[in-house]
Amino acid sequence: VQLQTSGGGSVQAGGSLRLSCTASGDTFSRYSVGWFREAPGPARDYLAAISWGGSKYYEDSVKGRFTISRDDAKNTAYLQMDNLKPEDTAVYFCGATTRGVGSYSGAYGGTYDYWGQGTLVTVSS
């Protein structure tokens, strides 16, 4: 499967963005999807995951601000980001795997076999 990440941009603090992760090359409903981000530095930080069955998981710091969803008919997973803060500035990535994910496995980057190219989100104060 190939993943295309889109929807990044520049917003002011308090604003919203919706990121999309669109899959091609395979049946998207077979895949669990996770969202991660990279700020300047070596780590890719986990944000949220959604299993192929629709179960959702979130990293504590984004609960209540970020919402993960999927539309299998459109081969797309989404990350709705509200009340954005300057510290949310990063490159955002989606990953996909045919394995089911849970609250622990979904947070581990190594769970995912396929990755999108990343989309830049810049939040100004």
Task: For CA atoms 88, 124, 85, 52, give the dihedral sign.
Answer: negative
64-111 pLDDT, tens digit each: 999 999 999 999 999 999 999 999 999 999 999 999 999 999 999 999
pLDDT (average), residues 6-18: 98
Q: Counting beta carbons within 10 angstroms of the beta carbon of residue 86, is it exposed (0 to 12), middle (13 to 18) or buried (19 or more)?
A: exposed
Residue 41 has pLDDT above 80, yes or no: no
- Per-residue pLDDT of 45-64, as tens digits, reads 999 999 999 999 999 999 99
